Structure 1
Amino acid sequence: MQIKNNWGAGMNDFIFDVDGTLIDTEKMYMLPLHQTLLENGYDFSYADVEKLFGITSMDTVRILGVKDPVDIQHKWFAKIKDYTQYAHVYDGIEDVVRKLHEDKSVKTAIATSKVEAEFQRDVIKFGLDKYFDEFVFSTEVKHGKPAPDMILKGIEKLSADPKKTVYIGDTKYDLQAAHAAKVKFALAGWRTEKSADFKDTDYFLETPADLLKLLTDK
């Protein structure tokens, strides 16, 4: 699959996913979920749960078809604190978001499936929050990804121009949400490989530094 990157595309507004894009949290979330399912009699493989990474926790357990989604969600989240050592910022991310934030022509936001308490636990500790102008959490919108609600709320908060806005994410749900919001989508290639699921991707980023190529030519 080939993605035709249009570098120098004149993007001024950058909205980021968190999990799998800024921070590698897959194992932190999905290992305790898998363990919770096994302990409650569900015969799922790790691959079964890993493919649902990136959407809201309630959507995840509902898609898995468990009998009591709320109970499983609570048991899952009680375990996450024992897996936080698996989370880390991707190489090159902090340097790039710092440069974007320092550019006075650029506005940056986070639009994430996390609730604010998860954001405090997973992002604040790494100090990334200081590089962003606005934040959107799942509790602020009616529908999670792949619906466009979170990205549209980010555009609203930034007073952004959709034509100059790009959403950076790592899952097919991020791609679908971006295009539903009528903005460009950039795939975080440091987490996700090119595949048929991403044939409609606008930009394939091999490294975080590729984001700087999307800025308005000066």
Structure 2
Amino acid sequence: MNYFIFDVDGTLIDSEQMYMLPLQKVLKKHGYDVSDAAVEKVFGITAADALKILKVRDPDQIQKEWFAEISNFKQYAHVYPGIKAALGVLHADPANQTAIATSKVEAEFHRDVTRFNLDDFFDAFVFSDEIKRGKPAPDLVLKGIEKLSASPEATIYIGDTIYDMQAAHAANVAFGLAGWRTKKTAAFKDADYDFETPAEMLKIDALSD
């Protein structure tokens, strides 16, 4: 593999609480009785899709209030241990190219991610406002392939959710499970790789032998 495309939330950055706690706060304020498990299941997809799945009746207002609250929960987010070191090695190899393909729109990315100084490790970025369909559709991954001028058979998409795996396979590329966040279960039996730590991404050729 020479083309590495990454999800952000739950893959590079542990940001679940930063997003889900304010969402729960706003839903509770508006009288929605939504379980923690239901909220957890929509982590990692676009806000619009998440609110649709949660059957929110007034999504525009809820999203507005939700996003206004996120800045109050920024202290809960951090880069996963080992991510920067692994990205540094991948990006330094001239044989590799790296990209981010995220369900965030560009403004959200700069609001929530740029502060972690990950940008220098990537050759391209794909945001959800550049494509028509969010995950599990393949659009984000396909746009990443296009921007990198990548060969699909030499490309891997690394993420932490079922939506990520479905998007990768719909784009006909390998999927690597971010096992430092999500443990492999029967739901991920079709994952091509299970990386227990970020450093294992550097051994991908050996893992495929």
Give your verdict on TM over 0.5: yes
- 2:72 is paired with a residue whose SS is coil
Unmatched runs of 5 consecutive residues or more in structure 1: 1-10
Give the corresponding residue for 1:6: none
Segments of structure 2 that go 5 or more residues without pairing to the other structure are none
Distance 2:50 2:56 in 1: 10
Match of 1:178 among 135, 151, 168: 168
The within-5 A match list for 1:44-59 is 44-59=34-49
Of Structure 1 and Structure 2, the greater helix share is in 2
Offset of residue 50 of structure 1: 1.0
Partner of 1:204, secondary structure, is strand
1:200 maps to which residue?
190
State whether structure 2 residue 138 is matched by structure 1 residue 148: yes
| Structure 1 outlier segments of 4+, above 2 Å | none
Q: Which amino acid aligns with 1:88?
A: H
Verify: 1:75 aligned to 2:103, yes or no: no
2:151 is matched with 161
In 1, Cα distance between the equivalents of 2:40 and 2:99?
26
Question: How far does residue 71 in structure 1 lie from its aligned partner after superposition?
Answer: 1.0
| Partner residue, 1:125 | 115
Distance in 1 separating the partners of 2:171 and 2:130:
16
What RMSD, in angstroms, separates the aligned Cα atoms of the two structures?
1.1
Q: Which among 172, 195, 203 is matched to residue 213 of structure 1?
A: 203
Query: Would you say how many aligned residue pairs link Structure 1 and Structure 2?
Result: 207
Task: Return the structure number with greater relative CO, CA threshold 8 A, min gap 6.
Answer: 1
Q: Note the C-alpha offset of 1:215.
A: 4.5
Counterparts of 2:38 and 2:5 in 1: how far apart (Å)?
A: 28
Q: TM-score, with normalisation over the residues of structure 2?
A: 0.97
Does the CA contact (< 8 Å) of 1:31 and 1:46 recur in 2? Answer: no
Provide the TM-score with structure 1 as the length reference: 0.93
